[in-house]
């Protein structure tokens, strides 16, 4: 993989985490479908209902997927919303140019994130014409939300 693509992916990783945090900040809360005082029914055989996970693990995974989406869509503004510190428009424009120069890529979060206290790491797997790379994105929990430091 070229060093240029690696540099672009690293920069994108920081921006994408900011995007995910922004999405978490503006996403509406889900409503509890169970009536008060009743327990939800356990999933039956063959049910595709997910097993409950730690809320922090789930939130970090959402941020990771938002990072991947920002990379695929070359959306530096979305990535900027995932960062803990507001990014300058010049930095976001430079990131967008780097992503666009890399061309069409795919990005996924292949593994569950690693969470410990107010720190986490989510790995984003990116593939493009220049090769493939797994990039670990460090995250921090600030004011109850996960962001790219």
CATH code assigned to 3-26+53-143? 3.10.450
Asked if the model's pLDDT at residue 128 lies above 70, the reply is yes
CB 21 within 8 A of CB 84: yes
pTM of the shown model: 0.66
Query: Which of residues 42 and 50 earns the better pLDDT score?
Result: 50
The predicted pLDDT at position 34 comes to 41
Residues sharing a CB contact under 8 Å with residue 68, sequence separation 6 or more, in sequence order: 16, 107, 108, 109, 124, 126
Q: Domain limits of the chain?
A: 3-26+53-143
Kindly report the three-state secondary structure assignment for every residue of 74-98: CCHHHHHCEECCCCCHHHHHHHHHH
């Amino acid at each position: 993989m070229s060093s240029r693509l690696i540099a672009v992916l690293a920069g994108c990783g920081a921006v994408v985490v900011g995007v995910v945090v922004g999405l978490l900040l503006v996403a509406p809360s889900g409503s509890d479908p169970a009536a008060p005082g009743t327990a939800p029914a356990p999933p039956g055989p063959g049910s595709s209902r997910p097993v409950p996970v730690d809320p922090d693990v789930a939130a970090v995974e959402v941020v990771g997927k938002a990072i991947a989406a920002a990379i695929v869509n070359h959306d530096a503004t979305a990535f900027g919303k995932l960062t803990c510190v507001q990014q300058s428009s010049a930095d976001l424009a430079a990131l967008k140019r780097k992503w666009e120069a890399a061309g069409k890529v795919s990005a996924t979060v292949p593994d569950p994130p690693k969470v410990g206290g107010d720190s986490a790491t989510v790995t984003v797997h990116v593939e493009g014409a220049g090769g493939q790379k797994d990039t670990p994105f460090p995250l921090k929990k600030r004011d109850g939300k996960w962001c790219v430091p």
